[in-house]
Amino acid sequence: MAKAPKTAIEPTREQDYPEWFQQVIKAAELAELSPVRGCMVIKPWGYALWENIQQVLDRMFKETGHVNAYFPLFIPMSYLEKEAEHVEGFAKECAVVTHHRLEPSPDGGLQPAGKLEEPLIVRPTSETIIGEMFSRWVQSYRDLPILINQWANVVRWEMRTRMFLRTAEFLWQEGHTAHATEAEAREETETMLKVYADFAENWMAMPVIQGEKTEGERFPGAVATYCIEAMMQDRKALQAGTSHFLGQNFAKAQKIQYLSDQGEETYAWTTSWGVSTRLIGAMIMTHSDDDGLVLPPKLAPKHVVILPIYKDDSREAILNYCNEIAEALRKQLFANRTIEVEIDDRDLRGGEKVWQHIKKGVPIRLEIGPRDMEKDAVFMGRRDKGPKEKQTLSRSDFIDQAVSILEEMQDNLYQRALEFREDNTKTIEDKETFKAYFTPKNKKKPEIHGGFARAYYVDDPELETFLKELKVTIRCLPFEEETKPGRCFFTGKETSQVAIFAKAY
Amino acid sequence: MAKAPKTAIEPTREQDYPEWFQQVIKAAELAELSPVRGCMVIKPWGYALWENIQQVLDRMFKETGHVNAYFPLFIPMSYLEKEAEHVEGFAKECAVVTHHRLEPSPDGGLQPAGKLEEPLIVRPTSETIIGEMFSRWVQSYRDLPILINQWANVVRWEMRTRMFLRTAEFLWQEGHTAHATEAEAREETETMLKVYADFAENWMAMPVIQGEKTEGERFPGAVATYCIEAMMQDRKALQAGTSHFLGQNFAKAQKIQYLSDQGEETYAWTTSWGVSTRLIGAMIMTHSDDDGLVLPPKLAPKHVVILPIYKDDSREAILNYCNEIAEALRKQLFANRTIEVEIDDRDLRGGEKVWQHIKKGVPIRLEIGPRDMEKDAVFMGRRDKGPKEKQTLSRSDFIDQAVSILEEMQDNLYQRALEFREDNTKTIEDKETFKAYFTPKNKKKPEIHGGFARAYYVDDPELETFLKELKVTIRCLPFEEETKPGRCFFTGKETSQVAIFAKAY
């Protein structure tokens, strides 16, 4: 067996959290940087995770009445101009197509040629182009609601990129809906936020706080933006999904009008909502440890890996035994799939293989050699326990319990993340405590700070400056808070508004 | 009931085939042109078809050992230059990103700003960027083969576009593989061509001819290109999928090298293969008729639509009866899904609804009113029969036979398309017959010509001119032909090479 290092990932979370994150991605073979600035390659293990995310969300979207469609990658520049706040929000970071062919250049290479009459923007989001199509599709109140989702790639030319969290190109889904009434559109916005929260908590095992964004953090052009916010293991917040009530802003900009049942021309009410491959970043930072990726079993590309250990004379018998176990597992349903099993019979040292699967976050490992077979047993390692904490189970017990072990692991991950968030969330009533809470004790480790702060708050320009200096933002105005009045921690003014404050990704 | 027009689609296929195609797409709500030049919007019914295509192909790819991954949308301009034939093939029609933001222009609008150091090409295909990643991933023979597929959008700036058949942006899958030996790479190329042929014939109900492309029709940079070719109802050929053996061309351009088990630095052998949303165009033109879309049941988004017909007092009973039928159907497996049923209870005239579903190609329609319910029966229309040719079946017979009716329809569509192709394929032995075969009898209807010609052939510059004048191309050198020698229809030279000639999309 290969000698395992003290931890499989170096540095550890405590030594250097941002670098640990990169190393987990590398060791799990989730993704890597491409030669194109800010764009990553999603490798098969990472893409399989995305496929599982897609499959579950897609079903949820369809169950809530949505259908998928596909709209152009390109948006004419003039479309972006139609909604003033929207263009303000996206003009500074978009890829612009200006030519439609290449021709030989004087230096023997190539140069752009065939200038377009109007530049095209690679979609950073599709409100404007989808709004244009909605305006063609909607004539009468009978054409509403339109409930559409698109799975697509989008591009935002971010200056500082980080794999999965902020890349120039990323994959996402964007829901776009149009409704006859404000109430319906608001209900849609809430429904989809709840779908996201449900997915985060019950599939990703990631507890989230649901709430509304403050004005400064709203989607450009929205009337209200709702979000789910999760705490990462460095106590920073990550916005994991957003749902926007767009009012009639885009309907007016795009002329999405319908004849009401009273015969009046009326603007529709629209919404949009999205989650992206950022969810994979959130999943990594919520659950993984110093030995690498830890996956919620419900989304793991594989649930069980079987590692046969044999010499030449025991090979066939061991492989047969492993296959029997695999077949018995593959007949069982866990969450929305049958249990996915891999038998890893590669010609590699056993220790190396075990560590590869630990780093990739496979929930259950079975090491099976002649002695296990003789005892009609399996030797099991669980990814939610230490790498050496393995146990022997009889084959039939393991097969009978496999689903409940996976369920237990899923629950454990959620509970652990919830406890971590609760342990690192503090209700704060005054400015000094707030400041101390968010000031790192050790300047070399700026990530070690308080966590989430819950505090009464009243909007104030001086508060904004104060927060900016601490690099803290208002993550959301949470839904679930009591509305008993209290005093703003900063201004001392009375208010019933509570906010969640945190440093954030 | 609404009075149906003589045909639901105008013009008919015979009156104006190209316009008929556009009108079928419109009437079925599959797609429509977007405001972005050459780009279409794939509407929910069209996208659901694409999802079904994806689902089946994705499973086939996984069963043949492939995994999915995702590579950047953008390709640095210099990458395209690396393979001389490849750049020649794609430089003339690619979208070029030159800037990364927008700034206010003097006229009060926007203008591109932030010029990129190196222009980026929106991928027309991904050999070069994926090849670059392969070169990083492959060190030793143990790293091979790499068997990857990507589902993605690509852009080719075509001058003349046509929905589904040739659009500036389209959706596709592109397989990219790297192997240690030539034999393995050739085998992969063949395997994937067979997967495509299997999918075309057994899922799309579209007979195809498998063969190799001639040199002039090869993928830019390939050593050999294999294809599946189908006959549309205007007797033209449509290339429905291609599989390329790339030899070591891209491996050399991209430095995909490995250390062999003999310790030698060796170039890998690569392949690529793809099908696109063009398959939807192929499906439309193979099966649809003058009443609109006809879908192979195995890929239809819905298999059965139930149209309840009631007055106020019978409403509840009829809807219950319809629901019972729907539930009984939804428990049954057809192909890879349970039977998909819609109960269309919209407040629209019955005739209008029936015709909508005919135009959308739903395989089975059930009209159910009080008299059908009394008789415990259903009144069924099948999309492979005339719109008035309906029949009454007892409920239990229908439920028992539903799967076999769908299977029969699937077979019928295939057989009909196969007969059509055979009836319109001719073995030709001389130049004059060939010319007459491809010359339209009526200049106003250039689409009415012979069809496919099968002929012995020897490559010759004069033959190329001759074919160009007739607007005929060599579709492929088919695999299944005998190799008995014969005489080239054009040069009279002896050869054992047969080719399929046709006008083509």
CATH 3.30.930.10, chain B: domain bounds: 17-287
Task: Please indicate whether, in this complex, the C-beta atoms of A41 and B133 are within 8 angstroms of each other.
Answer: yes
CATH 3.30.930.10, chain A: domain bounds: 17-97+126-287
| Mean per-residue pLDDT over chain B, rounded | 95
Percent of chain B with pLDDT over 90: 90
Q: Is B439 helix (H, G, I), strand (E, B) or coil?
A: coil
Q: Are A427 and A454 in contact (CB under 8 A)?
A: yes
CB proximity list for A74: less than 8 A, separation 6 or greater:
A97, A120, A121, A122, A123, B36, B39, B95, B169
Task: Please indicate whether, in this complex, the C-beta atoms of B74 and A97 are within 8 angstroms of each other.
Answer: no
Give the class (CATH, top level) of B426-502.
Answer: alpha beta
**Number of Cβ within a 10 Å radius of residue B436:** 12
Q: Which CATH number fits domain A17-97+126-287: 3.30.930.10, 3.30.420.300, 3.40.140.10, 3.40.50.740?
A: 3.30.930.10
State the Cα–Cα distance between residues A124 and A219, nearest whole angstrom. Answer: 12
State the Cα–Cα distance between residues B452 and B473, nearest whole angstrom. Answer: 10
Distance from chain centroid for Cα A49: 11
* Smallest Cα distance from A35 to chain B, Å: 8
From residue A378, how far is each of A344, A397, B85, B385 by CA, in Å?
15, 9, 56, 59
Tokens of B484: 């008995």
CATH 3.30.110.30, chain A: domain bounds: 426-502
Q: Does A188 touch chain B (CB under 8 A)?
A: no
pLDDT of B5: 55
H/E element, A432: helix A431-438
How would you classify residue A168: left for phi > 0, otherwise alpha for psi between -120 and 50, otherwise beta?
alpha
Closest CA to A122 of B95, B108, B38, B91: B95
Closest CA to B39 of A370, A120, A292, A461: A120
* Smallest Cα distance from A25 to chain B, Å: 15
State the Cα–Cα distance between residues B456 and B497, nearest whole angstrom. Answer: 6
pLDDT in tens, B326-354: 999 999 999 999 999 999 999 889 899 99
**Axis-axis angle for helices A44-63, A278-287 (nearest 10):** 110
Give the class (CATH, top level) of B302-405.
Answer: alpha beta
Distance from chain centroid for Cα B327: 33
Question: Which residue type sits at A468?
Answer: K
Q: Is A167 helix (H, G, I), strand (E, B) or coil?
A: coil
State the Cα–Cα distance between residues B324 and A64, nearest whole angstrom. Answer: 23
State the Cα–Cα distance between residues B118 and B75, nearest whole angstrom. Answer: 10
Q: Does A94 touch chain B (CB under 8 A)?
A: yes
Q: What is the ipTM of this complex?
A: 0.96
pLDDT of A5: 55
pTM confidence score: 0.96
Q: Of B78, B92, B97, which is closest to A96 when you measure between CB atoms?
A: B97
Interface of B with A in 110-139 (CB under 8 A): 110-112, 114, 119-122, 129, 132-133
* Confidence band of B447 (pLDDT split at 50, 70, 90): low
Q: Which runs of E-coded beta strand occur in A191-277?
A: 209-212, 224-231, 237-245, 257-259, 265-267, 269-276
Judged by average pLDDT, the poorest of A265-274, B5-14, B359-368 is B5-14
For an interface test with A, the pick among B29, B74, B167, B356 (most A C-beta atoms closer than 10 Å) comes out as: B74
Task: Please indicate whether, in this complex, the C-beta atoms of B69 and A40 are within 8 angstroms of each other.
Answer: no
Task: Please indicate whether, in this complex, the C-beta atoms of B102 and A95 are within 8 angstroms of each other.
Answer: no
Q: Does A100 touch chain B (CB under 8 A)?
A: yes
pLDDT of A1: 46
pLDDT of B1: 46
Q: Of A47, A110, A152, which is closest to B70 when you measure between CB atoms?
A: A47
Average pLDDT over residues B365-372: 96
CB proximity list for A43: less than 8 A, separation 6 or greater:
A29, A30, A31, A32, B69
Domain A302-403 falls under CATH 3.90.1150.10: no
Q: Which CATH number fits domain B17-287: 3.40.50.620, 3.80.10.10, 3.40.50.11540, 3.30.930.10?
A: 3.30.930.10
* Smallest Cα distance from A485 to chain B, Å: 45
Task: Please indicate whether, in this complex, the C-beta atoms of A39 and B73 are within 8 angstroms of each other.
Answer: yes
Q: Does B478 touch chain A (CB under 8 A)?
A: no
Q: Which residues of B touch A62 (CB under 8 A)?
A: none
Give me the total of CB pairs closer than 8 Å, taking one residue from chain A and one from chain B: 190
pLDDT in tens, B136-147: 999 999 999 999
Q: Does A30 touch chain B (CB under 8 A)?
A: no
pLDDT of chain A along its 505 residues, tens only? 445 458 999 999 999 999 999 999 999 999 999 999 999 999 999 999 999 999 999 999 999 999 999 999 999 999 988 877 888 889 999 999 999 999 999 988 899 999 999 999 999 999 999 999 999 999 999 999 999 999 999 999 988 899 999 999 999 999 999 999 999 999 999 999 999 999 999 999 999 999 999 998 999 999 999 999 999 999 999 999 999 999 999 999 999 999 998 999 999 999 999 999 999 999 999 999 999 999 999 999 999 999 999 998 999 999 999 999 999 999 999 999 999 999 999 988 989 999 999 999 999 999 999 999 999 999 999 999 999 999 999 999 999 999 999 999 999 999 999 999 999 999 999 999 999 999 988 877 766 778 999 999 999 999 999 999 999 999 999 997 667 899 999 999 999 999 999 999 9
* Smallest Cα distance from B79 to chain A, Å: 10
Q: Does A33 touch chain B (CB under 8 A)?
A: no
Question: Which residue type sits at A481?
Answer: E
CATH 3.40.50.800, chain B: domain bounds: 302-405
* Smallest Cα distance from A71 to chain B, Å: 5
Q: Are B304 and B362 in contact (CB under 8 A)?
A: yes
Nearest residue in chain B measured CA to CA from A120: B36
CB proximity list for A489: less than 8 A, separation 6 or greater:
A428, A429, A430, A431, A433, A434, A455, A456, A457
Q: Is B93 helix (H, G, I), strand (E, B) or coil?
A: helix
Q: Which residues of B touch A74 (CB under 8 A)?
A: 36, 39, 95, 169
Question: What does the DSSP 8-state code read for residue B283?
Answer: H
Residue B3 has pLDDT above 80, yes or no: no
Q: Which residues of A touch B35 (CB under 8 A)?
A: 76, 79, 129, 132
Interface of A with B in 45-74 (CB under 8 A): 46-48, 50-51, 67-74
Task: Please indicate whether, in this complex, the C-beta atoms of A42 and B70 are within 8 angstroms of each other.
Answer: yes
Q: Which residues of A touch B40 (CB under 8 A)?
A: 72
Residue B4 has pLDDT above 60, yes or no: no
From residue B316, how far is each of A97, B168, B369, B445 by CA, in Å?
57, 50, 12, 53
State the Cα–Cα distance between residues A171 and A50, nearest whole angstrom. Answer: 9
Contacts 24+ apart (CB under 8 A), A90-93: A90/A124, A90/A125, A90/A156, A90/A220, A91/B101, A91/B102, A91/B103, A91/B110, A92/B101, A92/B102, A93/A124, A93/A156, A93/A157, A93/A158, A93/A159, A93/B100, A93/B101
Task: Please indicate whether, in this complex, the C-beta atoms of B34 and A80 are within 8 angstroms of each other.
Answer: no
Tokens of A96: 């612009």
pLDDT in tens, B152-195: 999 999 888 999 999 999 999 999 999 999 999 999 999 999 99
Closest CA to B446 of B472, B420, B422, B465: B472
Task: Please indicate whether, in this complex, the C-beta atoms of A48 and B67 are within 8 angstroms of each other.
Answer: yes
Q: Are B353 and B5 in contact (CB under 8 A)?
A: no
Q: Which residues of A touch B103 (CB under 8 A)?
A: 91
* Confidence band of B319 (pLDDT split at 50, 70, 90): very high
Is it true that the peptide bond before B387 is cis, omega within 30 degrees of 0?
no
* Smallest Cα distance from A459 to chain B, Å: 31
